[in-house]
């Protein structure tokens, strides 16, 4: 097939999608070659708004949260419908307008996770005052589950921003960077427990965030972010986690949370897995390899199953690669939002330069779902 034919086919599909107003589920056509090259970055979408985290299905549907630090856009959860197109998902009825915040609408989501049948998001509730977990059925868009975390688990000021889901056993694991801790939630009952006050959850001394030679501040002070990325092993029996401002990747058995182990037992079981970069997101594949966004070097690093840490991708477009998650056939999806250019970081004007990206890269490993 010629290049011109590929372009024509992509344009035709885009026109059809637009004409249908995307009323049904659809996959994004990336116009890729038949044999994708591992390590080659592809553009999924160029957006006028900042994506938070990203998730993709095995048949090519792509979803993203809209980062709460972006200016109000009227949408908080979107589905990508084309290279420069998106729609509110599952519908506009669940989005807030940036002025009025009610309990029946999504408030300030960030973490997103795709299980076999659901899209899960953690909503920090920065305006409504409580952390909520929403689970939507991928096929129908209907709300399948909502869990409100108690103030004992996620008190005011919490920043519960990343999650990993074990739908088979019925558990969700989350990371809170404000009062550094791990939270485990029983999906069926909504009951939750928090584990905190451990050195592995804190920022590591001397790990400074410097991007392009510039010290990165947050709210006027050097950015120091505690436990942030969190993933699960392929069998869902191991939780992996680490601080954004940290060089160490840790593990702990998930069953300790499920079975009500004491904090002391959990602390005793925490082990070092290997090294990581300063990272906002991570994904673990079925082979036990860990992929991290590298904030300071505009890329993605990998910690292999045998403990070797090395660069995987470098790309100038990756200005604050935020979330990473596997889709189908070892495709790793990455949200890029230039978060360090938002007023919360600059202390003044928004210095971001559109577009913001959702990218993907082939890793030659199968997805972890």
Residue 22, by phi and psi: left (phi above 0), alpha (psi -120 to 50) or beta?
Answer: left
Is residue 110 within 8 Å of residue 177, measured between CB atoms? no
With 60 as the cut, is the pLDDT of residue 44 above it? yes
Percent of the chain surpassing pLDDT 90: 88
pLDDT the model gives residue 3: 36
Residues sharing a CB contact under 8 Å with residue 258, sequence separation 6 or more, in sequence order = 169, 171, 184
Residue 316, both tokens: 């100038």
Q: What angle do CA 55, 56, 62 make, to 5 degrees?
A: 95
* Bridge pairing between strands 321-326 and 331-336: antiparallel
Q: What angle do CA 17, 19, 23 make, to 5 degrees?
A: 65
d(CA 70, CA 68): 5
With 50 as the cut, is the pLDDT of residue 291 above it? yes
Question: 333: which DSSP letter?
Answer: E
* Bridge pairing between strands 356-362 and 41-47: antiparallel
What are the Cα distances from residue 11, in Å, to 72, 86, 359? Answer: 31, 16, 20
pLDDT the model gives residue 22: 33
pTM: 0.91
pLDDT the model gives residue 34: 60
pLDDT the model gives residue 328: 87
Q: Cα torsion at 250, 255, 259, 260 (round to 10°)?
A: 0
28 versus 133: the higher-pLDDT residue is 133
Rounded average pLDDT over 18-35: 51
| Pure H helices in the chain | 3-20, 255-258, 263-269, 343-346
With 60 as the cut, is the pLDDT of residue 363 above it? yes
221 forms beta bridges with 218
With 50 as the cut, is the pLDDT of residue 55 above it? yes
Is residue 141 within 8 Å of residue 90, measured between CB atoms? yes
Given the structure tokens 């129908």, which residue do they identify?
A: 140
Rounded average pLDDT over 300-309: 96
Is residue 114 within 8 Å of residue 138, measured between CB atoms? yes
pLDDT the model gives residue 23: 36
Of 322, 304, 307, nearest in space to 363 by CA: 304
pLDDT band at 6 (very low <50, low <70, confident <90, very high): very low
pLDDT band at 10 (very low <50, low <70, confident <90, very high): very low
Rounded average pLDDT over 70-77: 96
Of 104, 152, 101, 153, nearest in space to 126 by CA: 101
pLDDT band at 28 (very low <50, low <70, confident <90, very high): confident
Question: 38: which DSSP letter?
Answer: B
Is residue 324 within 8 Å of residue 281, measured between CB atoms? yes
d(CA 200, CA 202): 6
Average pLDDT value for the chain = 91
Each residue of 314-362: pLDDT tens digit? 999 999 999 999 998 799 999 999 999 999 999 999 999 999 999 999 9
pLDDT the model gives residue 16: 31
pLDDT band at 20 (very low <50, low <70, confident <90, very high): very low
Rounded average pLDDT over 37-66: 96
pLDDT band at 195 (very low <50, low <70, confident <90, very high): very high
122 forms beta bridges with 133
pLDDT band at 365 (very low <50, low <70, confident <90, very high): low
Helix, strand and coil in the chain, % to nearest 5: 10, 40, 50
With 60 as the cut, is the pLDDT of residue 368 above it? no
| Pure H helices in 216-292 | 255-258, 263-269
Q: Cα torsion at 286, 160, 136, 291 (round to 10°)?
A: -20
Question: 348: which DSSP letter?
Answer: S
pLDDT the model gives residue 29: 62
d(CA 242, CA 15): 44
pLDDT the model gives residue 4: 36
pLDDT the model gives residue 48: 98
Is residue 214 packed enough to be buried (19+ CB in 10 Å), middle (13-18) or exposed (0-12)? exposed
Of 6-20, 86-100, 111-125, 305-319, least confident by mean pLDDT is 6-20
CATH number, span 3-362? 2.120.10.30
pLDDT band at 261 (very low <50, low <70, confident <90, very high): very high
pLDDT the model gives residue 8: 34
With 90 as the cut, is the pLDDT of residue 364 above it? no
With 50 as the cut, is the pLDDT of residue 19 above it? no
pLDDT the model gives residue 14: 36
């Amino acid at each position: 097939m010629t290049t011109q034919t590929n372009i024509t086919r992509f344009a035709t599909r885009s026109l059809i999608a637009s004409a249908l107003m995307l009323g049904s589920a659809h996959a994004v056509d990336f116009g890729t070659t038949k044999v994708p090259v591992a390590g080659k970055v592809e553009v999924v979408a160029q957006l006028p708004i900042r994506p938070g985290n990203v998730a993709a299905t095995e048949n090519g549907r792509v979803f993203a949260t809209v980062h709460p630090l972006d200016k109000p856009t009227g949408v908080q959860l979107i589905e990508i419908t084309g290279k420069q197109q998106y729609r509110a998902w599952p519908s506009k009825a669940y989005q807030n307008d940036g002025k009025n915040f009610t309990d029946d609408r999504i408030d300030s989501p960030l973490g997103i996770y795709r299980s076999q049948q659901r899209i899960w998001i953690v909503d920090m509730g920065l305006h409504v005052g409580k952390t909520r977990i929403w689970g939507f059925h991928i096929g129908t868009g209907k709300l399948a589950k909502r869990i409100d975390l108690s103030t004992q688990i996620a008190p005011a000021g919490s920043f519960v921003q990343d999650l990993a889901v074990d739908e088979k056993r019925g558990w969700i694991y989350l990371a809170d960077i404000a009062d550094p801790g791990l939270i485990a939630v029983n999906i069926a009952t909504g009951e939750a427990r928090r584990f905190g006050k451990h050195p592995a959850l804190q920022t590591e001394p001397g790990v400074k965030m410097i991007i392009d030679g510039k010290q990165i501040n947050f709210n006027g002070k050097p950015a120091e972010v505690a436990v942030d990325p969190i993933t699960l092993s392929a069998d869902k029996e191991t939780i992996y986690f680490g601080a954004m401002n940290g060089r160490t990747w840790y593990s702990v058995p998930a069953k300790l949370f499920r079975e009500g182990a004491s904090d002391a037992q959990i602390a005793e079981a925490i082990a070092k897995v290997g090294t990581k970069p300063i990272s906002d997101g991570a994904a673990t594949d079925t082979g036990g390899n860990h992929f991290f966004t590298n904030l300071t070097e505009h890329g993605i690093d990998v910690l292999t199953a045998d403990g070797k840490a090395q660069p995987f991708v470098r790309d100038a477009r990756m200005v604050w690669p935020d979330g990473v998650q596997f889709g189908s056939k070892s495709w790793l999806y990455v949200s890029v939002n230039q978060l360090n250019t938002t007023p919360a970081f600059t202390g003044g004007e928004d210095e971001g330069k559109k577009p913001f990206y959702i990218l993907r890269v082939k890793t030659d490993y199968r997805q972890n779902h």
